[in-house]
Amino acid sequence: MPLCVLTMVNAAQPLTIHSYLREGERVGVARGRLAGCVGILDRVNARRGRLIVNVDVFGKSVSIELDIGDVDATPGSSL
> What letter represents residue 54's amino acid?
N
pLDDT for 24 equals 94
pLDDT at 74 over 70: yes
pLDDT for 20 equals 78
Phi-psi region of 60 (alpha: psi -120 to 50; beta: other; left: phi over 0): beta
- Give mean pLDDT, residues 15-30: 81
Q: Measured between alpha carbons, how far is 30 from 17 in angstroms, rounded to an integer?
A: 14
pTM: 0.70
Domain 18-73 has CATH 3.40.50.300: no
- φ, ψ of residue 38 to 5 degrees: the values are -125, 140
% pLDDT > 70, the chain:
81
pLDDT for 63 equals 94
Task: Output Rg (C-alpha) for the chain, integer angstroms.
Answer: 15
Per-residue pLDDT tens over the stretch 26-45: 999 998 888 999 999 999 98
